[in-house]
Structure 1
Amino acid sequence: MSPRTRRSYDQYCSAARALDLVGDRWTLLIVRELLAGPRRYTDLHADLPGVSTDMLASRLKDMEQGGLATRRRLPPPGAVYVYELTPRGRGLLPVLQALGAWGEAELGERRPTDAVRAHWFALPLLRAIDGQGLVEVRLEEGVFHLHAGSEEGPVYGDGPAPGEPDARLVMDASTCTAISAGELSLADAVHAGRVEVSGDGALAKELRSL
């Protein structure tokens, strides 16, 4: 079966060419999820509430054809297929960060229909951290970890940090939302006692000294 033809803006413009690849609904949110590293299809579907199975499969195929993602089979005992970003796909991190910063003003109050996952706060918090290291973040909604300053590999991950983190941050949802919306800096949140910092790494010591 020949690959399906994707729609194009047919404009000799780098922005138009970029939107040919990532402008479809759900594509950038799939990138957001894959910035956590290899993910199974079922995990992606669970963390993208509202996307249909057909739509997710279609977008992943488009991303493979566009050189943004690959699909591979894990060795035993896993023996399952996972999707992961290519270097080209990971290069969308600053695009997502800029888009997230631009959209901070649109957050407002959480609507009753809004889904939420703890790790959706990962990229906004990553923008707020000025430093490098492994950071574990604990919220009421769950636990995730960040690879601050990392230029390769996963940007963040769901669940506790693999190994001893350089810093642990504990905060409530309202504080995390305020930081994500740009209403409160991480430094001010730490200084006000709204973020509890622990750990012996240089990053933890730096945050405690703010």
Structure 2
Amino acid sequence: MSPRRSYDQYCSAARALDLVGDRWTLLIVRELLGGPRRYTDLHADLPGVSTDVLASRLKDMERDGLTTRRRLPPPGAAYVYELTARGRDLLPVLQALGRWGEPELGERRPTDAARAHWFALPLLRAVEGQGVVEVRLEEGEFHLRVGAEDGPVYGDGPAPAEPDARLLLDTETCTALAQGELALPDAVRTGRVTVTGDGAVAKALREA
């Protein structure tokens, strides 16, 4: 394992960038905010990263206390990576970075990869309250753990149990929400987002 590079500046921002400033590190955090992931799953959902770079970043993140690695019990018996509490503390950093980057989204380029769950963090900012919200897009499904104080804040695929709300919307609407061009309550009122469910989150969205 190569020694960690440093800016050698007595500044908290520089120290933070010593840990997360390398290419791909924050995107690995984005993926692991959805819960433990196998190496192969991470590689599949980080198109463009080489196997060597991904392995190197994961080792660095484990050394720096951002992630841990553990072996699943049989029959899985695979290793998974997950965020530590310090790693999960990067959620507001990623949300702020995403908000700052909203004007840069623009039109989707032909070379742009997309995954449904990449919309999870922008939508997490848009939904108020506390509970599990299932989101269905053309690209796939994911679920949010709105107001979660620890553990994963979202998950790929349908919710593991009956969610507090289900949101059905198209990619164009989800992109508008992610870009900050459209507020979720307005999207519900105008019919661009269909809300079902009997939980408090669903009722609040329908009544907003």
Which category of TM-score, normalised to the shorter sequence, fits these structures?
over 0.9
C-alpha distance in structure 2 between counterparts of 1:19 and 1:185, whole Å: 32
1:56 aligned partner: 54
Alignment of 1:11-26 (within 5 A): 11-26=9-24
C-alpha distance in structure 2 between counterparts of 1:22 and 1:151, whole Å: 22
Q: CA deviation at 1:122?
A: 0.2
SS in 2 for 1:127: helix
Which runs of at least 4 in structure 1 moved beyond 6 Å after TM superposition? Answer: none
Q: Please, what is the CA RMSD of the aligned residues? A: 0.5
1:128 aligned partner: 126
C-alpha distance in structure 2 between counterparts of 1:174 and 1:64, whole Å: 37
Paired-residue identity, % = 81
| Alignment gaps of 5+ in structure 1 | none
Alignment of 1:27-176 (within 5 A): 27-176=25-174
SS in 1 for 2:144: strand
C-alpha distance in structure 2 between counterparts of 1:104 and 1:133, whole Å: 26
Q: Deviations over 1:36-81 (max 9, x none)?
A: 1100000000000000000000000000010000111011111100
SS in 2 for 1:178: helix
Q: TM-score, normalised by structure 2?
A: 0.99
1:186 aligned partner: 184
Q: TM-score, normalised by structure 1?
A: 0.98
| Alignment gaps of 5+ in structure 2 | none
C-alpha distance in structure 2 between counterparts of 1:64 and 1:103, whole Å: 27
C-alpha distance in structure 1 between counterparts of 2:51 and 2:197, whole Å: 41
Q: CA deviation at 1:4?
A: 2.1
C-alpha distance in structure 2 between counterparts of 1:157 and 1:74, whole Å: 18
SS in 2 for 1:79: coil
Q: Deviations over 1:131-152 (max 9, x none)?
A: 1100000000000000000011
